[in-house]
Amino acid sequence: MKAFNKTTVVSQFILVGFSSLGELQLLLFIIFFLLYLTILVANAIIMAVIHFSKTLHTPMYGFLFILSFSESCYTFVIIPQLLVHLLSATKTISFTACATQLFFFLGFACTNCFLIAVMGYDRYVAICHPLRYTLIMNKRLGLGLVSLSGFIGFFIALVATNLIRDMPFCGPNRVNHYFCDMAPVIKLACTDTHVKELALFSLSILVIMVPFLLILISYGFIVNTILKIPSAEGKRKAFATCASHLTVVFVHYGCASIIYLRPKSKSDSDKDQLVAVTYTVVTPLLNPLVYSLRNQEVKTALKRVVGMPVATKVI
């Protein structure tokens, strides 16, 4: 990534973040360090179980594998630097490092938004067209959807990062956040940013609202199909296959909407940081926990991988 506008007189940013908490930063370091290890281990377990269990070699779990990998990369962009800054007196970051962090953060975040939408489409095909599922959701389409999600996600990240990088920064240089996010960095630009903010807001709508609306449409068809199932047990099983995905959808898009689809006049840096903790730490941890605790297939596969006895139904 290129650094920010070369006409700037500011050579680096200071990530204020949790600086005001003083001695509590050590406690935060311990908490975030343990959460980060849990995220890495939990996502690694999900990926290992999917890889080694042949029963999970389906498009649905293939998408979950990619999402777990992307979430791990997403946290790697943010948390290690946060941990260093929590123990350091100096919390500086160079322009180049800030631009790079912003690019990869946005890239993985946008990719995840599109991947979750793809998983919603997968559930639509599985429930509404079960007999044609393997024909429609073949390996070629699956790889194409994943590749398209990554390409669009990182292309949008490149556009957004370049819009911010080209702004002049002539001081102050204190970013009121614990990482380089769009809004806190834009506030430091010494120029009129309204046009670029409007462009970035439009990109946010594209990344958040379009996938979310596609998911809602998919679940509209899913609910309509489920209600036509005659047996109560059949309805329960159908809803159960969607519960994990829906939980992730509402947490992921909910947090993103609070930060990126809110009027600038209602922005609150302190509250934004708390919400940011949710989507940079809690959500990546939520995905593997939700899919492992609420998904019987994953729990059964996990028991088989670790050699635990698996209960079988007696017919």
pLDDT bin (cut points 50, 70, 90) of residue 166 is confident
In whole numbers, what is the pLDDT of the chain averaged over residues?
Answer: 85
* pLDDT exceeds cutoff 70 at 182: yes
pLDDT in tens, 255-310: 888 888 877 655 556 667 777 887 888 888 887 777 766 667 777 777 776 766 66
Enumerate helices (H) and strands (E) in the chain, giving the number of each.
11, 3
Residue 57's SS3 state is coil
Alpha-carbon distances, residue 283 vs 36, 80, 262, 286, 293 (angstroms): 12, 17, 20, 5, 15
Query: Residue 315's pLDDT is what?
Result: 42
pTM for the structure as a whole? 0.88
Mean pLDDT value across residues 202-215: 93
Identify the CA nearest to 123 among candidates 57, 219, 211, 53. Answer: 219
In this structure, are residues 93 and 180 in contact, taking their beta carbons and an 8 Å threshold? Answer: yes
pLDDT bin (cut points 50, 70, 90) of residue 209 is very high
